[in-house]
Structure 1
Amino acid sequence: MKRRIAREKALQILFSLDTEEYDLATTVEHTLDEDEHDPFILNVVNGVATNKQEIDEKIKGHLEKWSLERVALVERTLLRMAVYELFYFKDAPESVVINEAIEIAHVFGDDKSGKFINGVLSKMIK
């Protein structure tokens, strides 16, 4: 499975976790087909879920005039995923992670989502 599709699936799972009252295993089961249990998806989903509080603290430190609670759920979820990849993966190229988050934001977010994601992530890696 291509990484873009894997990231989109991970977004769907993590988004559902924040909006539904399912546990992680149930959400993964409901979102993924049998042939979609890609290790990358499971790594991102489990990593974000396990380190959510620490990831949120990193994000909060780079939001200007925003609280994390005010950030739209799609953008918040994408930020969490990108932060996980940037700070917990050893081999994730920063530019690729940021570009992928921006591109997925264009698909699932609104007109300003990509710009917002880019601004926050760019501050984080400097």
Structure 2
Amino acid sequence: MALYLKTSEPEKVMQAFKASVGDIDQPHDGARWLRPKDSEYITHADPEWAYKSWVLPSVRQGALLFNIIRPEDRYVSVKAYAAYHAELVGTLMDAGLAQPLDIKMSSRCADGDLNA
């Protein structure tokens, strides 16, 4: 289940998104996502959802892609997918971007997702 954000300024949008990501060992106030040091993967900052899945954000030509990556020890539940997608959309909406958001989400595993 991937989330795609079509945008004419993917680098700018990614920088705005990264402001919501805190260090997993020392999260800042308002961090909605947490990242371990030396990792591209992020997890939900809410203790209820943290570590239930990982997200791999990437910049594509004209888009951002957020892939779901399962933890090594379990599959990602449908509820966790929903929580992660909702938080991604909320984070992007709160980023203060002037342009409208053109978001698409897959309801099944997509290229780049790891849940098998």
TM range (shorter): 0.3 to 0.5
Using the size of structure 2 for normalisation, the TM-score is 0.36
In proportion to residue count, which structure has more strand? 2
